[in-house]
Structure 1
Amino acid sequence: MKLKSYLILAAVVIAVFSSASLSFASDAAADGGPAFQTLERIETIVYGSPQGGGLLSRLSAAEKDVFGRELPGSLTERQTAMLDFLEKGTTTQPSLLFKLSVAEWAVAQEIHPGWALARRIDTIEAVVEGTVQGGPYAARTERLITKLLPEGVLSTPVEIPASTVVKTSLSQTLTVKNVKVDDKVVLKLIEEIVVNQNLVAPRGSRVFAHITKVKPPRSFGRPSEIEMAFDALEVIGPNSVTVAMGEAAKKAMEADAA
């Protein structure tokens, strides 16, 4: 089953991108947790999936790929510092993922949050510079941002109206044979969300949902049914915003189908 769907956003205040000098604010929190879980989260961002080997050697490899060197401190301190750098940033600097999403949007008006860092950076470099460059991912991202947006970027708090409609499409085909209740589903945004000329969520942003009902085909030609509940939209940052199917979304779907 492939479909387009419309959702509505809850009214929230988040930090979003606009062109200007650079600053950043984020409410996103990294829970951390056991060392191996934090490392797997880091590796999924950097490489697309967890890697094999011991904790220290894996962390060292990720640090060298991102920074060109190992970070100081204990295992926990190093992992926390790296995850914060990737996802949260600081009060004066946006996260690496924020910068990378801005660079992707500047090039193609679409982002690829599900891709590994290497693939995302390689793709932008190939378009902007004509060839893939070497070196640590952090330095390569900074170079791209400088070339694409020499004036810098600004994130600013924006209140998203509660009636904002979000247009999405499935990233994969769903059938009663390949899904079950409680399975996680990822959709993607097919139209960017802009509020007061501020970019909230570029095209390609992920929308997370889960399956709530699966019914196989029944007698007398009655078709199969798959239902899902929508959980959150991942806006630029990355931060998450609650989404739900509301009346405005239902009317938009009916108008699109007419």
Structure 2
Amino acid sequence: MGKSSESRRVTVPDFAAWKRQGRTIAVLTAYDYASARLLDVSGVDCLLVGDSMATTVQGRETTLPVTLRQMIYHAEMVVRGTKRALVVADLPFLSYHVSPRQAIRSAGRMMKEAGCQAVKLEGGRRMAATIKAVAEAEIPVMGHVGLTPQSIHKLGSYRVQRGEDALREDARAVAEAGAFAVVLECVPASLAAAISAELPIPTIGIGAGPGCDGQVLVFHDMLGLLADGFRPRFARRYAELGEQIKKAAADYVRDVRDRSFPNDDESYR
């Protein structure tokens, strides 16, 4: 007998099946082995090794500085920490923009060196030819339209995207180019729901309301790990680990300074 659907590795065809069944898809970002292991056993369907690593892990102001080599390094750790979740890795800024040939090379490196099962790239109609080329090279592609953080200097700010006709056309172009799913970021809920109903592929929302076929949150936002940072409206906090970590560290410092740590039970004889 084969493995049950809850124990085997999630595959790209599962996304299409879940779309048909109306089963929502749970996605979280992950950037290292330890967090990937914890999230994988929790039942998350997909782990996205996002270029958001630049802001959450590296402390950058935007996602632009992160390199392909860094993305591969972190994606490989996430892959090693998973047994069930589909692992998708972002292609970072300027690793696919020059030409479809460059995109295939970058995506191929991500698949071969990191071992992930798919890649994600930003852009709608302007990236349709690139998505098509990568998909035809047998590399599964997740699209990303709406607010595209790699275009922040062109957009000017991280604001809700409201161009209905353009967003519909971008999402449709991504699907027709061969993407197996598409992220809708910072799109009005009613528009995201309409796009989700129109597309043959699953939509994964972030700041796009409940009408998408799935949802994604940034790991650090969900757990309150960036306690002093910006808190997006759409980022529901499921824990406040940042405050707990600060308290635990302060308690440790106190115990070290008053010599109550380590005690006899924590020392070798």
- Would you tell me which structure has more helix in proportion to its own residues? 2
Q: Quick check: TM above 0.5?
A: no
TM-score (norm 1): 0.23
TM-score (norm 2): 0.23
Highest relative contact order (Cα 8 Å, sep 6+), 1 or 2?
Answer: 1
- Would you tell me which structure has more strand in proportion to its own residues? 1
